[in-house]
Structure 1
């Protein structure tokens, strides 16, 4: 759990993902299209990925990926991120943590 928190606070936007997950790809593309450069951790490609995935599940991520952290705080998965975007709350949140300048 501590490792997730440490990794989640390393950049303004951190995404825990799996390389084969289509929703993960969509969320990563969304942030990149905004001009955000998130730290992306592909849980199926890094040592200890399974343990990180279990920790994300314990934090309440269901499904466990994608798991998006903004400003070190868990925002949630694809549904939560898209909901924030549709409410026009996502971009102001990204600006607040310094992930976007414009």
Structure 2
């Protein structure tokens, strides 16, 4: 869907969440915040086209529920498990630097 594509490239890190009180979404947004990354967070339940975007994300990720869904540099990275795996493997920070989300 064009809307997800457009929104996912508006900032270096974009997170689509069901709500801001979702524990998995909170984990991901807290991780990025702790790294000094100001991610754009889109709460699908507050968007009039949230259901359509959720279906698009489910198709892209091949899982339901599809959120949180994290995009870095306009590219779909995945959900919480993938982001945490990248972080623990030392690959997340270089990815963030390459996308211009971090400078240190």
Q: Write out per-residue CA displacement over residues 31-90 of structure 1, whole angstroms, 9 at most, x where no aligned residue.
A: 001000011000111211111101100112523100000000000000000000010000
For 1:16, the equivalent position in structure 2 comes to 16
How far did 1:22 drift?
0.6
For 2:76, the equivalent position in structure 1 comes to 74
C-alpha distance in 1, partners of 2:68/2:97?
A: 21
How far did 1:18 drift?
1.8
For 1:83, the equivalent position in structure 2 comes to 85
CA contact (8 A) 1:61 1:76 kept: no
Name stretches of at least 5 consecutive residues in structure 1 with no aligned partner: none
Q: How many residues were matched structurally?
A: 102
TM-score by length of 1: 0.96
TM-score by length of 2: 0.94
Structure 1 segments of 4 or more deviating over 3 A?
none
Listed as ranges, the matches of 1:50-65 within 5 Å are 50-62=51-63, 63-65=65-67
C-alpha distance in 1, partners of 2:7/2:23?
A: 23
